[in-house]
Amino acid sequence: MDSPEVAVGDRVERTTALHAVHRRDRARFSAQVRRVETNETTTVTEIAAAQRIADEARARLRHDPEDEDAARALAAAL
């Protein structure tokens, strides 16, 4: 029969291990959230840049409908 001290020691060890796993999993989740937030921010920034390029290209095409560079920029932005 196990002594109570061994059982308590084992329980503390298991609890400590579970806490370590929980902290590790929480840290991984936080890192994933940060990556997603960063990717979303980058995507929003890229969309905003594409919209600016498209707006500038449209303005150039209104001024000069034959401007091939503006037409290509507009097509690439869309």
Question: CA dihedral defined by 17, 22, 24, 29, rounded to 10 degrees?
Answer: 170
Tell me what the mean pLDDT of segment 69-75 comes to.
77
- CB atoms near residue 57 (< 10 Å): 21
14 pLDDT higher than 60: yes
pLDDT at position 34 is 74
If DSSP codes are grouped into helix, strand and coil, which group holds residue 2?
coil
Domain span holding position 53: 4-77
Whether the CB-CB separation of 74 and 61 falls below 8 Å is answered with yes
Tell me what the mean pLDDT of segment 51-72 comes to.
82
Closest listed residue to residue 3, CA positions, set 15, 11, 16, 14: 11
Domain count, the chain: 1
For 22-52, write each residue's pLDDT tens digit: 777 777 777 777 776 777 776 778 888 888 8
